[in-house]
Amino acid sequence: MYIELEGKISAMAKFNVEDVCRHIRRKHPACPDFAVDFFSREVASKDWNGCKLGTAVGITMQSILRHQMTDYDQLLLIGIDRSEAKRQVQPRVNAMIATWRKNPKPKKG
């Protein structure tokens, strides 16, 4: 799909859920199934102006984890500016994503 903005034509990328799921499972093999499903639906629900799939997944994971799994929003509510709040919570977000990049340990049978 293409749209025209200020006289320029820009490609709008829309990804399907199955492609996003495959990407996440390949790049983040330890990501829990419920999270893969959630992230995949979120990515697929948006138009990504000129973004590659990996970029769209990264932006989505970062944003959701920052807002859902850290104190980011509470820091904003007490008056800390966005860049400082993001700096404070980024190590936790990075740690979660790094954990998901590792191959899961095989289950003992």
Q: Is residue 107 in a domain?
A: no
90, part of any domain: yes
Q: Is the pLDDT of residue 105 over 90?
A: no
| Residues of the chain above pLDDT 90, percent | 78
How many domains, in total, are found in the chain? 1
Averaged over 15-36, what is the pLDDT?
97
Asked if residue 106 belongs to a domain, the reply is: no
For the stretch 43-95, pLDDT in tens is: 999 999 989 999 999 999 999 999 999 999 999 999 999 999 999 999 999 99
pLDDT above 90 (res 23): yes
Instruction: Report helix angle 17-27 to 53-69, nearest 10.
Output: 80
Q: Print the domain residue range for 82.
A: 2-101
Kindly state whether residue 91 falls inside one of the protein's structural domains: yes
Instruction: Determine the Cα–Cα distance for residues 19 and 40; give it in Å rounded to an integer.
Output: 8
3-state helix, strand, coil in the chain (%, to 5): 60, 10, 30
